[in-house]
Every structure is written in structure tokens, then in C-alpha cells.
Structure 1
Amino acid sequence: MRALLKIANVIDGVTERIGGLADWLVMLVVGVGFYNVTVRYLGRFIGVRLSSNLYIELQWYLFSMIFFLGFAYILKHGVNVRVDFLYTKWTDRQKAMVDLAGTILVLIPLCIIGIFAAYNPVLQSWGRSPNGNWGTWEVSPDPDGLPRAPIKSMIIVAWATLLLQSISQVIKYAAILRGHTEIAKAIETQQESIDDVTLPVQK
């Protein structure tokens, strides 16, 4: 179990770094949005078009990336929607049993389906035709717009990172059910290393 928890710890570390990247993207979205608003009104005032589709699309590109990169981070920190008036009254073991069942039966299959469903559309966006040949990638229908392929690829990235974090959560839920509550909580809070926590003696 200790080896599996170390794997979960590594996955959690990757998720934290991805969440940190999303934090920076929030600031970029605010900056690009401020620029778009400023040049739009300034352009109206002086009678010159200063805004560009490139920056307008960049704004929603960045916002979409925050959304996609946040999937795994939200799951790790347990801020996803729950029926709290029931869940908060349960013991750690009861919570772990429900979360384990939901993750294995619903979330992991959903991630796998999401990856497979997005695979071909993403390849087509990069320029792959049904006969296997490669052409030009999908571009914006608007002048000076951004290509669509990179942002569509983030759909697969989102499902893949969510799948990895789901595996980490399964390991931690199983650890709680086996009595390793301290280790599981240490990984979830990122406050302690697994090696710093003593495993309870199994009876």
C-alpha cells in the first residue's frame, strides 16, 4: 500500500502544478480581457479599429484552458459538487466507500469514454482526413483568428489528467478503508510526506 500511496503522491504533485498553471492563466485572462476592453473603447473614441480577433479569441482560449486544467485540481481538493447535508455527517470510512464506488463505476469510465470520444475529432482538427492522410489543421473562421487544433487537444488533456487524479483518489480511498487514514489525509493535504507517517498495525 505504501508504494501505491507514493504513486498517488506523485500524481497529486502533478495535479498541484497544473493547478498552479491555471492560476497564472487567470491573471493572463484578466490582462487580455482588460486589453480587449480598453482598445475597443479607445478605438471607438478615435474612430480607428484597434481590436483584433486574435486577442478576442486568445481570451476565450485561455479561459477554456483554465476550465480544462481545473478538472483534476477540483477533484483532488474535493470541491466538486456533493450532497453535503448527507456527506458531511458520514464517517471517513463511509465517505471513502461512496467515493471509491463512484470513482470506479462512474468517473473513471467517463474519463475513458471522454478520451476516446475526443480522439478522432482532435485528429481531424489537426488535419487528419478519414483516409489517413494529413492536410492543413483547423483554423478560425474569423480573420486573424487562432487555430482550433491546439485548444481542442486540451479536451483530451483534461480527460487524461482527470483520469490520473481519479486513480490517485482510488488509491487514497482504498487506503482509508484499509485503516491508513493518516497517510491518505497526509497526501490529500500535501502537508506531510508518506515516509513521515507511520502505517497503522494491521490486525
Structure 2
Amino acid sequence: MLFWKRQLDRFSLFLGRLSAALMLLMLLNVFYDVVARYFFKSSSIGMQELEWHFFSSMFMLGIAYTLHAEGHVRVDIFYEKWSEKTRAIVDIVGVVVFLLPFCGLILWYGHGFALESFRLGETSGDPGGLPYRWIIKSMIPASACCLALSGIGLLLKDLIKLSQSS
């Protein structure tokens, strides 16, 4: 169990680094777009769309890392006063009852959404926009998978805590 927890933790950390790289790419893209627009009176719809592609990918992949780093939202006013065992139980229930079914739902509907976009050969509606809209739409089910894997890592961490406290 410890081996799988470590592997999932490593995967979550990779997603955090990937999100940071995507943020850097987004910042460079915005910088380029601003310089091109205001200094050279040139603008590219594709570069503007690439900004929200980077932002969306950064956000959706960063969710899994945020869960791993325990930066997610919860009612800490109660949580911090509980024992380690109670925290572990609450986290286990949260992952099993809420997180994993939510990820399954997003994966189920997001997969169909991305697949339909792929089958249609969907592109940007704007002239000069990016082709292959299915790539960004596929980030929806991909992020659900990543979040589920991070949640399983959290679940394993809490199961290990419970087994050690017994």
C-alpha cells in the first residue's frame, strides 16, 4: 500500500510541476500577445485562444496537485481540532462518498463531450483560431482521472494512518 501511495504522490507532484510550467507558458504567451498588440499593432486569435488553453490546462491539472498538497477547501475550524484518526476517517469518507463518484461523473460525461468534438473535427469558430478543439476538451476527463488518482493517494495515506494508530 505504501508503494502505491508513493507512486501516486509522485504523480501528483509531477502534475504540480506541469501546472507551474503551463503557468509560465501562459505568462510568456500573454507577454508576447501584449507586446505584439501594443507595440506592433498585430494580434493573433490563435495566440489569444492559446492563453485560455494554457489557463484551463493549468487549472484542471493543478486541482489534483492541490488535493495532494491539502490546499483544498474544507472547514478547518473543525478539522484542526480533531484527532489524527478522526481526520483520517473524515478524509476517507470524503474521498469515497464525494470525490471518487464526482470524478466518475465528470469522466463519464467529459469523455463523451471530448469524443464528440473529436468525431466532428471541431475547430475554433473564429478565423485564425486554433484547430483541434477536442484537445482542450479532452482535458476535462483527463483532469477527472488525475483528480481521482490524487484522491486515491489521499485515501491510501489515510488508511496507512489508521492502520498505524490502531
State the TM bucket, normalised to the shorter chain: over 0.9
Within 5 A, what are the aligned runs for 1:74-153? 74-127=66-119, 136-147=120-131, 148-153=133-138
Instruction: State the distance in 1 between where 2:92 and 2:117 align.
Output: 36
In structure 1, what is the equivalent of residue 157 of structure 2? Answer: 172
| 1:11 counterpart (3, 8, 13) | 8
Superposed displacement of residue 17, structure 1: 1.0
* 5+ long unaligned stretches in structure 1: 45-49, 128-135, 181-201
Superposed displacement of residue 55, structure 1: 0.5
Instruction: State the distance in 2 between where 1:17 and 1:171 align.
Output: 18
The one-character-per-residue Cα deviations of 1:14-55 (angstroms, maximum 9, x if unpaired) are: 1111211111111111111111111111244xxxxx110011
Instruction: State the distance in 2 between where 1:142 and 1:85 align.
Output: 48
Q: Report the secondary structure of 2:82's partner residue.
A: coil
Instruction: State the distance in 1 between where 2:142 and 2:73 align.
Output: 22
Identity percentage over the alignment? 35
Instruction: State the distance in 2 between where 1:118 and 1:77 align.
Output: 25
- Aligned-partner residue type, residue 153 of structure 2: S
In structure 1, what is the equivalent of residue 22 of structure 2? Answer: 25
Going by fraction, where is helix more abundant, 1 or 2?
A: 2
- Aligned-partner residue type, residue 24 of structure 1: A
| 2:142 counterpart (150, 157, 176) | 157
Instruction: State the distance in 1 between where 2:66 and 2:25 align.
Output: 20
Instruction: State the distance in 1 between where 2:115 and 2:147 align.
Output: 21
1:56 aligned to 2:48? yes
Within 5 A, what are the aligned runs for 1:33-48? 33-44=30-41
Aligned length: 165
Instruction: State the distance in 2 between where 1:29 and 1:146 align.
Output: 15
Instruction: State the distance in 2 between where 1:58 and 1:107 align.
Output: 30
Q: Which has the larger radius of gyration?
A: 1
Instruction: State the distance in 1 between where 2:149 and 2:24 align.
Output: 26
Instruction: State the distance in 1 between where 2:14 and 2:156 align.
Output: 20
Cα RMSD after superposing both structures: 1.3
TM-score (norm 2): 0.95
The one-character-per-residue Cα deviations of 1:137-188 (angstroms, maximum 9, x if unpaired) are: 11000011113110000111100011111111111111111116xxxxxxxx
